[in-house]
Structure 1
Amino acid sequence: MEFYSGVPTILKEILDKKQKVVLRTNTRTTPLNPPNLDSSLIIAEIKRASPSAGNIGEIANPNALAKAYLQGGAGAISVLCEQDYFKGDLEDLKRVKESNPKACVLRKDFITKIEQIAESYAFGADMVLLIAAVFVGENNPYGGFLQLKKLYLECLEFGLTPLVEVHNAQEVEFITPLNAKLIGINSRNLHTFIIDRIQAYNLLGEIQTKNPQSKVIFESSLNCDFDGFVVGNLGFDGILCGSYLVRNSEPKNALTSLKESLECGKKDSNIFYKNVFRLLDSPLGFVKICGITNTQDALMCAQGLQELDKDSNQAQKIAALGFIIEPKSPRFIEIERIRAIAKELERFPNILKVVVLKDDKNQMQSALKLYQDGIIDALQLHGIKRAGWFGGVELRGAKFAFYEAWNVENAEDLGEFVSPFVLLDSKSILGGGSGQRIGLEVLEQLKSRVQTLCVAGGVGIENLESLKKLGAKMLDINSSIESKVGKKDLAKLQSLIAHLKNFNS
């Protein structure tokens, strides 16, 4: 976004006020402690407020919170120093550093002037945040790339570690000549303060291509341990987390658990999220054919889906097949049959395999065994009854790839969801596969809440165009391509694929 044309944005408002702040002096008495970039870097933030969340926490004693973070395994402490919108101060940074001289401390602020680097050093900072969005754009009033480069080099002169923050592909391209050692991807748009996690997740690949030397940190929208698992699974080198930790009554334990989830995600070799997030960001989106009951249909559908060429999207996978293990479903398939079909599907390595289950402990155990054995790529948790829980598992602490499917008739039917995206299915006696559709007006109401619109229930040729116009990024297809319940029809599949290909450009 080119916001220097005079269009007011939150970032512009912050920067306008920041220019009136007088530089301050101090004498540094603490040692420099650069961050350890050879292991996962957890940057825990001291943050009282924000333009989007309002007051987050009073934090009368920043030193005590910093100590809790360090005890929980934080590799660095981020201190928000902006006063008007975040209620921070350089004095907070100074006190935190002097109370924890061996800690690495980041000045998180809206830096535009060379003199602010010396100021950061004087007050005890070891790291400085440099935000690309401040400098990008035509007729930039803050000096554009040349000023960003000067600030970066000035940090190095003082021995400070710059954390260069980006939000979109334009900014990734903009900072590439810096050859930055440490880059942060902020999932929050600083102009609107709207979160877009999937866009942020997908930026990692671009940075790894253009800045292979960089360590990459994920910032903002971390709300539970599971978010740490996803970030680690995608390949991020660390996280910067603020609001979630500040609000937690036990920040030390919360940080320890978040770090464990990040490490667990790194160790999980499953690449479901990496592929699906790319698909969700592509013109066609993520296509899944559900209700597979036999080998013949599985191979036929996999062959048909091959025509949805996604090479241009750099995703190794192109679509998915779904297997339902709910015994009451007319499309139920036994666990051993899934294993046998998965073996046959090895000839189609670009097809993801998803097991679909209801809220049942036995089904959850069976599905997790398939996941742990590498038979399937993810779990579709269908029919959430209690937000944050499924099959006896607390989803906020989950350490496996999944997404939630909620049955909705009205917008109010969707509760709080944990997964990075949520599949919206129609309500019916079957709970899915009925061919019933969600009203377009209901989907329209839910768009801003789910951000990535994923739709099941009566998806077929007749409503493909209307769903795509509405912005649907995942289409879960089942009964519309069957000759009878549980049996896919070749002619209907071929017709569907032909229509889908029109959107893949």
Structure 2
Amino acid sequence: MKKFSDIEILEKICVKKMQRLESKGFNLGYKIPESRETPLITPFILQEFTQDSNCKFIESTLKDSKEFIESNSKDSIIKSIKSSKNCNNFIESKIENSQDNSPLILKSHPFPPFENKSANYPVNFNENIESKTDCIKNKKQPFIIAEIKRASPTAGNISEILDPINLAKTYVKQGASAISVLCEEDYFKGSLSDLQSVKNALPHACVLRKDFILDPKEIEISYKMGADMVLLIAAIFLRDFKTFKAIFEAILSYKMTPLIEIHDLKEYEFIATLGISNLQKALLGINSRNLRTFKINAMDTMRLKAMMPTRFPVIFESGIECAFDSFSAASSGFSGILCGSYLVKNLDSKSKSSVLNDLKNAFLKGSENNFLEKIVRKFVTKNNIIESKGEISTEDSKNTNFIESKLQNSQDFIESKIQKPLIKICGINNLDFLAESIKQGADLLGFILTKKSPRYIDFEFLKKANEIIESTLQDSIESKSSKNTNLVKNIQSSKNYNFELDSKLNKNNLDSKLKSSKIPNFFRPIRVGVVTQDCIDFGLKCLESKLLDCLQLHDTPLEFVLDSIESSEIFYNNINLNSANFAFYPSLNTPFQTLKTQKLQDRFILFDSSGGSGETLDIESIKIFLQNNEIFKKNLWLAGGISAQNLGQILSLNPMLIDICSALESSKGIKDIKKLKEFFKTFKNYYKIIK
């Protein structure tokens, strides 16, 4: 049995590291200072999340306690706070030290600095953070971790990095929020000496010790050598939670910040055992590289992020190869990125390059439009409520092994046995059809923006469409609220009525949401503009006008998604897609007969066999394609002749998204509400939903 991990490369690295520890000690043969010689820096991203949490708590507390504060003296308030089980000594001291006659004012303070265990240096926050008078409304800055990395098992030798200090200074100059220093010696060619020299040269930078930490005794060494953050890889400890927790607690005891790295849902469930309160003291990172195959899969990384609570910051690790990758990470809800190989290749010997600054700017733009997060969270939410499968025709059952008599609630989704796809209704050019699409449950709404299509719509139609979307959604919420009110009345009139249940129902009903004109995000369909190269400017105008959430680039160049192509410039009209800073996903119109032997990159891609012509998909070619591109087995987006008649075959491929257009028309470009209803009725017969 392997000592650390069933993952071969991880086991090799850890065994080699343990041999070094046993032969050279926890200092790995380096001279360690008696005490820390540099200030301890807390990553500002934790400060921002703490501020958000504190502000929301204080807002709630002030609202609930207004009468109490107005009707009681300051002494009685202090006495009440001290007697509370949740008394915060920091707030208490602030109150006690205030002048007797001064008014009692609660302000949104960050958590106070802790005392260091082994030094008198204060805990300073990164200088990039600005003071905020309204910490909830202000936009967060991206947390960019730039890495000093000479080599890796996957990339081999990347760069000698003869002067790590100079590279670190370049990173900081271009806006890095933290510096990651590889310290593993055998596979990554790093050292503790690199960590110490970088921190000594840049004492006010936030520095991460990126290493394969195996023992709590390594943490004191990390602290004294200048680390502000320490990487903790969950996959190493899946059979040893005790050691994992001991290392985590040791990091916190030195007031450093753990960066906990996970790869999948199993690892997240493992670290979740620490509890939310502990996880909020750490940064979480999701590494998009599969350590078994070494393949990058950003799609699964985004899906995992969507399953996690939003109350703590999560970093996107590995796979950043261009500015659009950074944009996509931000758009899928991440708080920052960790980037190594790409930056080293471009900045170690080419200091004039601005790639890090480009990544930061792209991340900022991506955080303004979280369309990928909306799509993936909508998908995750939709699949957490599947319970069982409806009846399927004998003809469909012959075509697939997909059909099962029952589903095991959401567990099948988690294990990817079966999933309920998002539905995109495309080519909408009729307002009544649009309203009915929303009522039926369309997840995405597609509008064709090229004049070459019989389904073309102009700017004015799109404005009216948005008005219809808002009014239809509002009607839907009111309807749901009415049903909820009737449910409460029925329960109250029943013999088994109890007040505890009543309070929960009233707490969760939608009436309060009706008082606001803002429609909850989980109700909103995603608005997609389908463009061709000749109308991309019109699409961008619609995006900037907030009439669309994203663009679908019809007939995207195949080079943009091929894994074998490494080019910094791939154009769609006059736009370099690798540096694009707007929300889009590629749409390939290449037949699966051609694609089935190709290796594609880890991007969400709509595979469209027809482009609205109604030409059906080649099921057998898709199956061969999936065998060669396993990353798409759970992430398949399909378009092309999908209808109620062939739906069983399409669902047998277990897609994440299906796009329906021509099958919902009485003639080309003429939408048919009757066919729309028929399609959704057929689709819903495949699934029984628990609400």
TM-score (norm: length of structure 1)? 0.85
CA RMSD between the two structures: 2.9
Shift in alpha-carbon separation, 1:400–1:133, aligned structure 2, 3 A: same
How far apart, in 2, do the equivalents of 1:298 and 1:195 lie?
38
- Report the alpha carbon displacement of residue 217 of structure 1 after superposing the two structures with TM: 1.9
Describe the superposition over 1:271-291 as per-residue Cα deviations: whole angstroms up to 9, x where unpaired: 422221134554212211111
How far apart, in 2, do the equivalents of 1:499 and 1:246 lie?
53
- Report the alpha carbon displacement of residue 129 of structure 1 after superposing the two structures with TM: 0.3
Determine if the alignment matches structure 1 residue 397 to structure 2 residue 496. Answer: no
How far apart, in 1, do the equivalents of 2:354 and 2:688 lie?
46
Determine if the alignment matches structure 1 residue 147 to structure 2 residue 250. Answer: no
Describe the superposition over 1:89-126 as per-residue Cα deviations: whole angstroms up to 9, x where unpaired: 32332332333333322111111111211232343322
- Map 1:230-269 onto structure 2 (within 5 A): 230-249=328-347, 250=350, 253-266=354-367, 268=368
Partners of 2:4 and 2:237 within 8 A in 1 = no
- Report the alpha carbon displacement of residue 260 of structure 1 after superposing the two structures with TM: 1.6
**What residue ranges of structure 2 are gaps of 5+ in the alignment?**
48-140, 384-418, 474-522, 561-569
User: 1:313 matched to which residue of 2?
Assistant: none
Determine if the alignment matches structure 1 residue 52 to structure 2 residue 154. Answer: yes
**Equivalent residue letter for 1:36:** F
Give 3-state SS (helix, strand or coil) of 2:244's partner. Answer: helix
**Equivalent residue letter for 2:532:** K
Shift in alpha-carbon separation, 1:258–1:423, aligned structure 2, 3 A: same
Describe the superposition over 1:2-21 as per-residue Cα deviations: whole angstroms up to 9, x where unpaired: 98798553323322332212
User: 2:436 matched to which residue of 1?
Assistant: 300
Q: Which of the numbers 504, 528, 531 marks the counterpart of 1:354? A: 528
Describe the superposition over 1:40-65 as per-residue Cα deviations: whole angstroms up to 9, x where unpaired: 32110112233333333332332222
Structure 1 range deviating more: 329-338 or 186-195: 186-195
How far apart, in 2, do the equivalents of 1:206 and 1:255 lie?
29
Partners of 1:285 and 1:473 within 8 A in 2 = yes
Shift in alpha-carbon separation, 1:54–1:464, aligned structure 2, 3 A: farther
Determine if the alignment matches structure 1 residue 328 to structure 2 residue 447. Answer: no
Q: Which of the numbers 109, 124, 129 marks the counterpart of 2:226? A: 124
User: 1:309 matched to which residue of 2?
Assistant: none
Q: Which of the numbers 405, 418, 425 marks the counterpart of 1:289? A: 425
Partners of 1:421 and 1:450 within 8 A in 2 = no
- Report the alpha carbon displacement of residue 418 of structure 1 after superposing the two structures with TM: 8.4
Give 3-state SS (helix, strand or coil) of 2:230's partner. Answer: strand
Q: Which of the numbers 172, 193, 197 marks the counterpart of 1:91? A: 193
- Which protein has the larger Cα radius of gyration, Structure 1 or Structure 2? 2
User: 1:311 matched to which residue of 2?
Assistant: none
User: 2:549 matched to which residue of 1?
Assistant: 377
Shift in alpha-carbon separation, 1:460–1:84, aligned structure 2, 3 A: farther
**Equivalent residue letter for 1:350:** R
User: 1:472 matched to which residue of 2?
Assistant: 655
Shift in alpha-carbon separation, 1:153–1:243, aligned structure 2, 3 A: same
How far apart, in 1, do the equivalents of 2:531 and 2:285 lie?
36
How far apart, in 2, do the equivalents of 1:5 and 1:153 lie?
20
Q: Which of the numbers 217, 221, 224 marks the counterpart of 2:319? A: 221
User: 1:26 matched to which residue of 2?
Assistant: 31
Question: Percent identity, aligned pairs only?
Answer: 39
Runs of 4+ in 1 over 6 A off after TM superposition: 2-6, 413-419
- Report the alpha carbon displacement of residue 206 of structure 1 after superposing the two structures with TM: 4.5
Give 3-state SS (helix, strand or coil) of 2:424's partner. Answer: strand
User: 2:619 matched to which residue of 1?
Assistant: 440
Give 3-state SS (helix, strand or coil) of 2:19's partner. Answer: coil
**What residue ranges of structure 1 are gaps of 5+ in the alignment?**
307-317
Determine if the alignment matches structure 1 residue 498 to structure 2 residue 681. Answer: yes
Shift in alpha-carbon separation, 1:476–1:205, aligned structure 2, 3 A: closer
- Report the alpha carbon displacement of residue 449 of structure 1 after superposing the two structures with TM: 7.0
How far apart, in 2, do the equivalents of 1:367 and 1:107 lie?
44
Shift in alpha-carbon separation, 1:42–1:6, aligned structure 2, 3 A: closer
Determine if the alignment matches structure 1 residue 195 to structure 2 residue 292. Answer: no
Partners of 2:5 and 2:235 within 8 A in 1 = no
Shift in alpha-carbon separation, 1:192–1:412, aligned structure 2, 3 A: closer
User: 1:312 matched to which residue of 2?
Assistant: none
Shift in alpha-carbon separation, 1:482–1:391, aligned structure 2, 3 A: same
Partners of 2:552 and 2:584 within 8 A in 1 = yes
Structure 1 range deviating more: 22-31 or 287-296: 22-31
Partners of 2:665 and 2:675 within 8 A in 1 = yes
Indicate the structure with greater strand content: 1
Number of residue pairs aligned between Structure 1 and Structure 2: 475
Describe the superposition over 1:412-451 as per-residue Cα deviations: whole angstroms up to 9, x where unpaired: 5999988941111126xxxx11111342344234432763
